Structure 1
């Protein structure tokens, strides 16, 4: 199992955190990406803004919003990220563990 461990370092820097957490819904250019949702094991099509596409291509992940599934107490942020070790290239999941990892 491979972890995308640099998420913890990115979000530890508060100035960078504010730039990554901005609302990206106002961007006009949309890109469609097919990704496997790790939670429910279904493929889904995501419409990414140009900023989200830039983050995905340069740092390997982008926040796509908050979601809540049945039996969950609250919404949590979900991310699309790239994993070239698996058959599907893109995945959708939430951050796991104390070290804030996305499992690949």
Structure 2
């Protein structure tokens, strides 16, 4: 997994409105410039906020990426919870989980 590449891409998208618009218009062209796994490519293009969270993307970066795609704050929080339910505990990064991820 290339968590660094995912976070670098999200950081750049969050800071560059032109890049953000290019990504929204056609994710494949933008994503091709980064070394990403198939799982990461799918999560970024979807966008699957829950899976990105489980992959370990920093919440400060992820909340702005979610907003870019129109997710309201409550929906963003729910997407992270749902990501853990669907994909298991956070795998890497600052939020890596040491439990089974049961958020009930």
TM-score in same-fold range (> 0.5): no
Pairwise TM-score range, normalised by the shorter structure: 0.3 to 0.5
Q: TM-score, normalised by structure 2?
A: 0.33
Give the TM-score normalised by the residue count of structure 1: 0.33
* Higher fraction of helix: 2
Higher strand share: 1
